[in-house]
Amino acid sequence: MKWVVGNWKMHTTPSEAKRLALRLRQELQSELERSPRVRVVVCPPFTNLEAVRCVLRGSPIGWGAQNCHEELEGAYTGEVSARMLAELECQLVVVGHSERRRYAHENDLQIAHKLQRVLEFGMRPVLCIGETLTERQAGQTEHVLERQLVGVLGRAPASVWEKLLVAYEPVWAIGTGIAARPEQIAEAHATVRRCLMQLGAPEQVPILYGGSVGARNARDILAVPAVDGVLVGTASLNEGEFCALTRAAAAERWC
């Protein structure tokens, strides 16, 4: 199974999101129906989830959210809870994206609580982890990945493994146009897999790669055996590019 998850970030209005979702459905529906081993999910901004749900319901393309708050409900102005997302039938919720770690100062404890909420409402968390350029250059990649995984999953219930997806997203590759090389991805994914196993995870927990994935490099990245899919930002907003990389995922007989 290969995952293709689109993170639309803070792009699209409700009407634009509806148009993009409609075009993706028109372009990909029949192909995805013939390729049950590829799962495509798009994550629009919260305000556009209802519009996207209306368009994608009953199609092989799923939808999810980019974040949620760690509390169940309460006086948290401007926030969105996991319960709200579950009622919108989100299948996935991204937690711990590096942009949230950076701009909203989210830490591993907070991310662990968010992940717990996502599970409580029956959705699948996509836990993002990854090193900065400074950390990579200092030879700390392995240490950073382990620290983030243990920091979030060390507190998670045993039921987490059925639902969890991990996205390895080196911060230096996000939005820069410079993807990690296949051998760097393979090495980092091996670290993630080893750490997951030490935490008690079964081998089936999918590990996605994210960071400047597009139509031009999707095939090479998806061909890395340790890569169970891709998390795509910029290229997921371009219908042609997103369809092309989805086709790359569907084209091969991945095991």
CB of 179 to ligand PEP, least distance (A): 8
CB of 77 to ligand PEP, least distance (A): 25
Q: Which residue's CB is nearer to ligand PEP, number 55 or number 173? A: 173
Distance CA 175, CA 63 (A): 22
**Whether the Cβ atoms of residue 15 and residue 49 lie closer than 8 Å to each other:** no
Distance CA 163, CA 118 (A): 10
Catalytic residue among 99, 169, 189, 241: 169
Residue 169: active-site member: yes
**Whether the Cβ atoms of residue 207 and residue 168 lie closer than 8 Å to each other:** yes
Closest CA to 130 of 209, 199, 202: 209
Distance CA 62, CA 229 (A): 15
Residue 189: active-site member: no
Q: Which residue's CB is nearer to ligand PEP, number 60 or number 170? A: 170
Ranked by CB distance to ligand PEP, the top (closest) residue is 233
Record the tokens describing residue 224, joined without a space.
């890395």
Q: Which residue's CB is nearer to ligand PEP, number 34 or number 231? A: 231
CB of 137 to ligand PEP, least distance (A): 19
CB of 173 to ligand PEP, least distance (A): 6
Query: Which strand (E) or helix (H) includes residue 23?
Result: helix 14-34
Cα 197 to chain centroid, rounded: 20
Q: Which residue's CB is nearer to ligand PEP, number 38 or number 174? A: 174
What residues make contact with ligand PEP under the rule CB under 6 A?
A: 7, 9, 169, 174-175, 210-213, 231-235
Give backbone dihedrals phi and psi of 187, rounded to 5 degrees, phi first. Answer: -65, -45
Catalytic residue among 97, 99, 106, 131: 97
Q: Which residues are catalytic?
A: 97, 169
